[in-house]
Amino acid sequence: MGKRAVIYIRTSSEQQGAKDSPIEQEADCRVLAEQEGMIVLNVYKDIKRYRKGSKWFQPSGTRYDRPGLLAMLRDAADDQFDVILAWREDRLYRGMRAMLLVLETMEKYRLEIMLAKETFDPMTAPIKAWLAQMEIENIKERMTMGVKARLRAGKANSGQDRYGYVRNEDAIEVVEAESFWVKQIFAWAIEKVPLQEMRQRLIAGEAPQQPNSRRKIPWAYHSIKGILYAAEEYAFGRKIQSRSGEAFEIPVKPIIDMETYQAYLKTKRKHKPAPYDSRQHGLLRGMLFCPCGNKWGLRGTSLQYQTERGEIKDKDRILGTYFCRQRHEEMISDDCPRSVKRLEADRFVWAEVSGVINQPDILMHSARLMAERASAETVASDADIGPIEKELENITYQRQWIITQARKGGMPAEEMDKQLITLSRRETELKRLLRDIQEEAQNQISPNWEYEFHEYLTDIQAGIEGLETEPQNIEAWREAYQIKEQVVQIFVKKVTISKSSRIAVELDPNFLQKLAQLKEEENE
């Protein structure tokens, strides 16, 4: 029976061409597998942009967190294959971090890497990865310099223009069909037509809208606001483009006249000072997540509001809503509820937390185990940090010495590559170990933790009954909220809510460290 093989495919904007398409890569790898008598069990692909947190990335070879690559390495740990087949080495990685991840996995699980278009040599891989990364950085720098040179010359840059304009080679020209609606939007704004009605008129009039792959909503409010926001550009005939912190003016033909511009400015509501207490109040602020991976926001929970006359008044009730920050339909999990009422979520989590607090024996047992572990780790860390830092310093000197010897001709290139690989692996291992030790050392617990924790728990238990009912006025709500917020921040790590309104509370196992930090802040 032949060796078990998998194929890895990657495409990105780095090197696009007919000969490195996913189909071509897979075909060449399958030919190689057939020649070597291997059985292809799976094909892992990174050919589309992927999401990490709230951001989207192209599957660049410099990134080590590509979904396809990580899935393949996880399966390698489960002994699902023996050989990785790739088109070229730069399909697997083009940077040092990604290279180390692949090679460490290869060595740990005794895997082979075979390439369809070149020979794989693990000894020269670090040098190739470093050169590839430098090449990418140089390309980016040259592109940035080229773009800035064009902008300084008054030439248009690539990208999407303001509504009403289109790029024609180096110039930006007016689109008559769109400019008509730009004038209409400003005229409506002067008449104080609400955004909702503007949107309805634009849709009814079949006003053309610039295509945008991310947004499916016709004439969303942000689109109209974006046009009004750019009033100065539309009036004075200049397009502002920025690049790496620099702003450039590109001359364009004005769409609205100065009379319209001045009339629009008069209708704009002046920004008034923020209310005394305008921040959003919610127990789960900053710790509520949904299945799509997004950290949720909070709105409508400020204690005060500002009238049209600028008067600051207290709200009669504090309601509010937690909401998923990601608006794009195609980027939201099917299990994402989009929003949840603050009262509903806060009450549920507080019930969970207060239930835990009312079990002092269990909490104290957990705290003792935590303190014992932290004490042992702290003692060990103090003795371990010094030797690690010394060895890291020596590695830096060794690396420089090896490179110097090779440049002088005193060491063959193959030997240099071998020694540099060994040093890089050891350096990565030591840095990881040092980081873990330092993180553990930060979680120190006070010597008087038991007394402090007992005191804190007693105080909270004494007042917890009075916190069970919703306060009837703002002052009482503020006092209760401050107490609840402190307790939740100490005992809760993360809260997840699903579409079925199932709320999962993940308690923080390091609540003693948080309590110690709280005490330290109070003493300052």
Which domain CATH number covers 198? Answer: 3.90.1750.20
Confidence of residue 185 (pLDDT cuts 50, 70, 90): very high
User: Is the domain of 12 the same as that of 115?
Assistant: yes
Q: Span 41-54, mean pLDDT?
A: 86
- The pLDDT value given to residue 328: 47
Residues 6+ apart with CB under 8 A from 317: none
- The pLDDT value given to residue 393: 82
- The pLDDT value given to residue 32: 94
d(C-alpha 91, C-alpha 15), whole Å: 10
Question: Which tens digit of pLDDT belongs to each residue from 118-174?
Answer: 888 776 666 665 565 566 666 666 666 665 665 555 555 555 567 888 777 667 788
Residue 370 domain-assigned?
A: yes
Whether the predicted pLDDT of 55 surpasses 60: yes
- The pLDDT value given to residue 31: 94
Strand partners, 88: none
Residue 411 domain-assigned?
A: yes
Length of the chain: 524
Whether the predicted pLDDT of 285 surpasses 50: yes
CB 172 within 8 A of CB 252: yes
Q: What is the 3-state secondary structure (H, E, C) of 184-205?
A: HHHHHHHCCCCHHHHHHHHHHC
Residue 506 domain-assigned?
A: yes
User: Is the domain of 24 the same as that of 128?
Assistant: yes
Q: Token digits for 29?
A: 């790898």
Confidence of residue 477 (pLDDT cuts 50, 70, 90): low
**Total domains present in the chain:** 4
Regarding beta strands 321-323 and 297-299, do their DSSP bridges make them parallel or antiparallel, or are they unpaired? antiparallel
Residue 475 domain-assigned?
A: no
Question: Which tens digit of pLDDT belongs to each residue from 310-351?
Answer: 566 666 556 788 887 665 444 445 677 778 888 788 888 888
Give me the percent of the chain exceeding a pLDDT of 70: 62
What is the DSSP-derived secondary structure letter of residue 206?
T
More confident residue, 374 or 504: 504
Whether the predicted pLDDT of 222 surpasses 60: yes
Confidence of residue 498 (pLDDT cuts 50, 70, 90): confident
User: Is the domain of 15 the same as that of 93?
Assistant: yes
- The pLDDT value given to residue 18: 46
- The pLDDT value given to residue 331: 45
Residue 151 domain-assigned?
A: no
d(C-alpha 330, C-alpha 332), whole Å: 6
The alpha-helical segments, DSSP class H, found in 274-359 are: 342-357
User: Is the domain of 452 the same as that of 504?
Assistant: no
Task: Give Cα 332 to chain centroid, integer Å.
Answer: 15
User: Is the domain of 346 the same as that of 365?
Assistant: no
Residue 142 domain-assigned?
A: no
User: Is the domain of 11 the same as that of 110?
Assistant: yes
- The pLDDT value given to residue 339: 81
Domain endpoint, select from 212, 239, 267: 267
Whether the predicted pLDDT of 266 surpasses 50: yes
Structural domain including 233 reads: 165-267
The DSSP line for 243-289 is: ETTEEEEEE---SS-HHHHHHHHHHSPPPPPPPTT-S---TTTTTEE
Q: Span 187-197, mean pLDDT?
A: 90
Domain endpoint, select from 220, 251, 267: 267
User: Is the domain of 200 the same as that of 338?
Assistant: no
Residue 84 domain-assigned?
A: yes
User: Is the domain of 516 the same as that of 453?
Assistant: no
Domain endpoint, select from 210, 244, 267: 267
- Going from the C-alpha of 400 to that of each of 96, 346, 376, 394, 403, the distances in angstroms are 18, 57, 37, 10, 5
Highest mean pLDDT (candidates 314-328, 438-452, 454-468, 493-507): 493-507
User: Is the domain of 189 the same as that of 245?
Assistant: yes
- The pLDDT value given to residue 276: 46
Mean pLDDT of the chain: 75
User: Is the domain of 117 the same as that of 34?
Assistant: yes
- The pLDDT value given to residue 238: 57
Confidence of residue 214 (pLDDT cuts 50, 70, 90): very low
- Going from the C-alpha of 159 to that of each of 57, 137, 165, 172, 412, the distances in angstroms are 18, 21, 12, 11, 48
Confidence of residue 115 (pLDDT cuts 50, 70, 90): very high
- The pLDDT value given to residue 334: 66
- The pLDDT value given to residue 211: 57
d(C-alpha 287, C-alpha 490), whole Å: 12
d(C-alpha 397, C-alpha 420), whole Å: 12
Whether the predicted pLDDT of 213 surpasses 50: no
Highest mean pLDDT (candidates 128-137, 211-220, 249-258): 249-258
Confidence of residue 301 (pLDDT cuts 50, 70, 90): low
Residue 476 domain-assigned?
A: no
Q: Span 377-403, mean pLDDT?
A: 72
Q: 177-191, 261-275, 375-389: lowest mean pLDDT where?
A: 375-389
User: Is the domain of 211 the same as that of 282?
Assistant: no
